[in-house]
């Protein structure tokens, strides 16, 4: 793989100068969905699939981008003096956005680069290919240009660039999970304070299986921003009666006490999900610390039901993946993961049931939806790294 990427880079951009190779992972969130922008907890982990970047610094201000995932687009050129979103060159807006954001944070990049990317995250899967590109770019800028940033800074700059440059009002979870990934561990992150701890994922005789719906969706054109606005309005209404900074400050009992302050039934449902999902995430991490994987799985199932009924972000594809998974003997828990509206589900499946799970869920999904899902048995990996 690495040799093929380097050969392709030299074929496109020439062999002269110092060429460096980097990798940043994708991520999957085990539980805690749509809580990250509501001041709640999340529990994601980095994966061993992700985005590779081959790069060489230039002496002028030119940027030349090429993606092996979108080869039909060819080399896309722009310049450091003209960093603005380009609707005709969609994927390059992620690295350009990070370069722009570094400048906004006082680290102006004055020399361009040639950059080749290859991602083995399924496009539109909800495993954070965009955040992977953002963190990869930030890590490259840190290493190649000597920018004085930590991996946590890179996560925050990546979020800032997606919010301000790409116009997607995402929370911090995706970039944080990717930048701060640790092999064999998930990250228990309080998104309100950025306090975090690593929790080992020890699944004896079980595997994490990602089921990709193959329904493509983009965060910017989904109802993601609409859901966020609904929660912000519900928070404003609650704040008239209770002193909270975010929905994550409430537990279930407090929410039930004050929910009548919310003047719209849909907003009640959205806020209920945010509050209850945050508490589920706290309980799930406690269960894992107590080696109670069965309880963790039960909370995963409850998470999906809440995302389906209260937050309404699942859709027939993700509901089919989760509901068919629940029917398979040996599935400990299964839920949609990511923003929703397509993308993936994540399941914990006993080793001896993995093949049966893929066959049974895959058959039922294709019969109901009309096209196939893809399945990935994944491992938890580290954060970004320079490979050569």
The count of structural domains within the chain is 1
- At residue 137, the 3 state secondary structure works out as helix
* 129 close to 119: Cβ distance less than 8 angstroms: yes
Q: What pLDDT does residue 118 have?
A: 97
* Whether residue 174 lies in the annotated active site: yes
pLDDT of residue 370: 97
Residue 183 forms part of a structural domain:
yes
Mark 145-175 as b/e (b = at least 16 C-beta within 10 Å): bebebebebbbbbbbbbbeebbebbbbbbbb
Q: Would 214 be classed as within a structural domain?
A: no
DSSP 63-114: EEEEETTSGGG--EEEEGGG----TTSGGGHHHHHHHHHHHHTT----S-EE
Query: Within 13 Å of residue 176, how many CA atoms lie on the same side as its CB?
Result: 25
Q: For residue 217, what pLDDT band results from cuts at 50, 70 and 90?
A: low
**Strands, sheet with 185-190, edge to edge from the N-terminal-most edge strand:** 41-42, 185-190, 195-200
Residue 223 within any structural domain of the chain: no
Share of the chain above pLDDT 70, in %: 97
Residue 173 is part of which domain span?
2-201+382-386
Q: Note whether residue 173 is domain-resident.
A: yes
Task: Give the model's pLDDT for residue 224.
Answer: 83
Residue 188 resides in a domain: yes
Residue 213 is assigned to a structural domain of this protein:
no
Residue 94 within any structural domain of the chain: yes
Least confident of 132-141, 335-344, 357-366: 335-344
Q: Residues with Cβ < 8 Å from 19, sequence gap 6 or more?
A: 6, 9, 10, 54, 55, 56
Query: What average pLDDT is seen over the chain?
Result: 95
Helix (H) or strand (E) holding 239: helix 224-239
Kindly report the CATH number assigned to the domain that includes residue 129. Answer: 3.30.230.10
Of these residues, 174, 249, 310, 319, which one is catalytic?
Answer: 174
The answer to whether residue 375 sits within a structural domain is no
Average of pLDDT values for 151-159?
98
**Beta strand 331-337 with 76-79: parallel, antiparallel or unpaired?**
unpaired
Name the band, by pLDDT with cuts 50, 70 and 90, for residue 220: very low
Give Cα separations from 336 to 173, 262, 302 (angstroms): 16, 27, 11
Question: What would the pLDDT profile of 49-97 be if each residue is shown by its tens digit?
Answer: 999 999 999 999 999 999 999 999 999 999 999 899 988 778 999 999 9
């Amino acid at each position: 793989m690495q040799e093929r990427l380097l050969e392709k880079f030299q074929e496109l951009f020439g062999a002269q100068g110092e060429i460096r190779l980097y990798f940043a992972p994708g991520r999957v969130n085990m539980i805690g969905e749509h809580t990250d922008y509501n001041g709640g907890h999340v529990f994601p982990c980095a994966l061993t699939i992700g985005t590779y970047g081959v790069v060489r610094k230039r002496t002028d201000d030119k940027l030349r981008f090429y993606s092996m995932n979108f080869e039909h687009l060819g080399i896309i050129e722009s310049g450091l003096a003209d960093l603005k979103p380009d609707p005709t060159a969609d994927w390059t807006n992620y690295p350009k956005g990070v370069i722009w954001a570094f400048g906004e944070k006082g680290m102006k990049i004055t020399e361009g680069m040639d950059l080749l990317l290859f991602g083995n995250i399924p496009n539109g899967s909800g495993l954070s290919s965009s955040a992977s590109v953002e963190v990869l770019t930030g890590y490259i800028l840190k290493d190649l240009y000597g920018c004085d940033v930590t991996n946590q800074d890179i996560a925050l700059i990546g979020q800032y660039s997606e919010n301000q440059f790409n116009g997607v009002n995402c929370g911090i979870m995706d970039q944080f999970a990717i930048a701060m990934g640790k092999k064999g561990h998930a990250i228990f992150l309080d998104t309100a304070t950025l306090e975090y701890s690593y929790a080992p994922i020890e699944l004896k005789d079980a595997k994490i299986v990602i089921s990709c719906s193959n329904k493509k969706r983009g965060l910017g054109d989904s109802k993601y921003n609409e859901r966020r606005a609904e929660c912000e309005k519900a928070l404003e209404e609650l704040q008239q009666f209770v002193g909270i900074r975010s929905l994550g400050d409430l537990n279930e009992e407090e929410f039930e006490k004050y929910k009548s302050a919310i003047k719209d039934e849909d907003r009640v449902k959205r806020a209920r999900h945010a509050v209850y999902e945050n508490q589920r995430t706290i309980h799930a991490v406690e269960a894992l610390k107590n080696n109670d994987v069965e309880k963790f799985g039960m909370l995963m199932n409850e998470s999906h039901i809440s995302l389906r009924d209260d937050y309404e972000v699942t859709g027939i594809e993700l509901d089919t993946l989760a509901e068919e998974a629940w029917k398979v003997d040996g599935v400990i828990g299964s839920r949609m993961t990511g923003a929703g509206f397509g993308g993936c589900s994540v399941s914990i499946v006993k080793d001896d049931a993995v093949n049966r799970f893929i066959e049974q869920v895959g058959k039922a999904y294709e019969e109901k939806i009309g096209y196939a899902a893809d399945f990935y048995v994944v491992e938890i990996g580290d954060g970004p790294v320079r490979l050569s």
